[in-house]
């Protein structure tokens, strides 16, 4: 892609937008930045871009800028139906996201990972395995460092592992990973998409530019994911926890087995530090992607055994009076909570937050079977109570701290208090990390007589 001398409009000045502007301006593009926030709200990003030749349109958007640009690079947070983006399309302008722009300048083999749940763990572990096997590796995308920062920095790497969201995939045109991974698809972001099918269609775009020499790692235990196997041009590499595969990666009797073109590698799970059915799925995907791209099995196993997982995903906070307290604040959708509930018995579940529009019904069997008490909080608590409340002993709480105290009083020794919200955090907290910190502080304050 030639960018020197091109008129490029960058929409949104968060971290990714700042990196895009730096890259474009330093490579000769005529850059305009537009953001609905004003100059005072953008003081930090503007300081980072000081000295670069950039035109700013702040506090509003001007449709003429969208229609005049050669290329529009849009923040993933801007919905496709934005009238400004539609004006650009009507004018014949190319609209892309940062991941599409960056990918045009990446030459190292890339693993791109998407799915409703497990993306961050799988991407991080994939990077750990590549590094342990001696490859200079970049890890980023929807987590940590935007992919454009790799391009901007000019660092020579041998492998790239990126987490990709459905939002990032909406405006791709040539994005083509060497290995694309689809972990699972459950209802999510229905506050963004008009239908579940629209969300599915966005996810599946990760495969649309692949060819037969590429790989599509598909979790065939997920019926929606399995259903797309016949629609991709890449070589399908299946993964399963439910059945043995002649070609692919599967889990049986405490061993993950990788089979490809006559090669077989076995990975005992007994020494893995991260556990649960969801993490076995994530590990299988990481092993498949990395072994397909040249990693040594022994070094890969050592990397998995040394991997301690990510913050805010089913972390044990403490054990008090025979009750274990787990923080799973990053579980912002129903599919993620399903995996958490499947990992325990005798659960007191604390859930709720800002509703995302999907159905809570998929949780019903696990709530019936494994949840002894449920404490609901946040904007979604009334709806959750209507859909699930009759299945178990259900209580309401006004604050997270009140919910924790109530859960502690209800849970018998040997039980588990699990904070797995199934909702976003924005009704009560800045983000899921603040929500996690509040949970941990309140749990650690139990039994001390102190307020968190």
Residues that are catalytic: 119, 142, 189
66 in Cβ contact with 93 (< 8 Å): yes
Tokens of 391: 């299945």
C-alpha–C-alpha distance, residues 299 and 180, integer Å: 22
CA dihedral 240, 245, 248, 253 (to 10 degrees): 60
C-alpha–C-alpha distance, residues 172 and 208, integer Å: 9
Tokens of 303: 């990397």
Output Rg (C-alpha) for the chain, integer angstroms. Answer: 23
List all residues 6 or more positions away from 79 whose beta carbon is below 8 Å from its beta carbon: 192
Instruction: Provide the 3-class DSSP secondary structure of residue 5.
Output: coil
Tokens of 82: 């934005």
Instruction: Phi first, then psi: give them for residue 42, nearest 5 degrees.
Output: -110, 25
C-alpha–C-alpha distance, residues 186 and 9, integer Å: 34
Residue among 10, 25, 127 at smallest CA distance from 78 = 10
C-alpha–C-alpha distance, residues 18 and 2, integer Å: 20
Q: Return the DSSP state at 103.
A: H
Residue among 393, 399, 411, 383 at smallest CA distance from 442 = 399
Residue among 141, 143, 292 at smallest CA distance from 213 = 292
User: How far lies 317's CA from each of 42, 259, 326, 329, in Å?
Assistant: 36, 38, 6, 12
């Amino acid at each position: 892609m030639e960018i020197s001398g091109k008129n490029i409009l960058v929409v949104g000045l968060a971290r990714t937008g700042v990196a895009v502007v730096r890259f474009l301006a330093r490579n000769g593009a005529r850059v305009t930045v537009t953001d609905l926030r004003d100059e005072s709200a953008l003081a930090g990003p503007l300081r980072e871009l000081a000295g670069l030749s950039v035109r700013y349109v702040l506090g509003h958007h001007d449709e003429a800028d969208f229609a005049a640009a050669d290329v529009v690079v849009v923040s993933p947070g801007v919905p496709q139906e934005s009238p400004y983006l539609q004006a650009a399309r009507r004018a014949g302008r190319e609209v892309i996201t940062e991941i599409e722009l960056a990918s045009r300048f990446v030459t190292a083999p890339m693993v791109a990972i998407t799915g409703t749940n497990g993306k961050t763990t799988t991407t991080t572990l994939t990077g750990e395995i590549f590094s342990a096997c001696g490859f200079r590796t970049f890890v980023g995308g929807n987590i940590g460092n935007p992919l454009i920062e790799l391009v901007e920095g000019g660092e020579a790497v041998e492998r790239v592992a990126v987490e990709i969201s459905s939002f990032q995939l909406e405006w791709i045109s040539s994005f083509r990973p060497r290995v694309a991974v689809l972990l699972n698809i459950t209802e999510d972001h229905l506050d963004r998409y008009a239908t579940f099918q629209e969300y599915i269609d966005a996810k599946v775009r990760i495969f649309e530019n692949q060819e037969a020499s590429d790989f599509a790692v598909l979790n065939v235990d997920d019926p929606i994911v399995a259903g797309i196997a016949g629609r991709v041009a890449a070589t399908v590499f299946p993964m399963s926890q439910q059945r043995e595969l002649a070609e692919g990666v599967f889990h049986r009797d405490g061993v993950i087995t990788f089979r490809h073109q006559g090669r077989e590698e076995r990975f005992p799970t007994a020494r893995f530090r991260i556990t649960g059915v969801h993490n076995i799925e994530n590990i299988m995907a990481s092993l498949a992607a990395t072994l397909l791209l040249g990693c040594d099995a022994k070094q890969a196993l050592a990397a998995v055994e040394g991997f301690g997982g990510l913050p805010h995903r089913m972390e044990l906070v403490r054990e008090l009076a025979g009750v274990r307290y787990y923080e799973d604040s990053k579980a912002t959708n129903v599919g993620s909570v399903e995996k958490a509930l499947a990992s325990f018995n005798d659960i007191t579940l604390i859930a709720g937050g800002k509703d995302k529009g999907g159905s809570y019904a998929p949780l019903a069997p696990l709530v019936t079977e494994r949840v002894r008490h449920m404490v609901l909080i946040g904007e979604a608590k009334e709806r959750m109570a209507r859909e699930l409340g009759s299945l178990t002993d259900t209580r309401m709480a006004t604050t997270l701290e009140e919910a924790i105290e109530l859960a502690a009083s209800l849970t018998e020794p040997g039980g588990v208090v699990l904070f797995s919200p199934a909702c976003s955090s924005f009704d009560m907290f800045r983000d899921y990390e603040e929500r996690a910190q509040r949970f941990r502080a309140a749990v650690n304050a139990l039994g001390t007589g102190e307020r968190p």
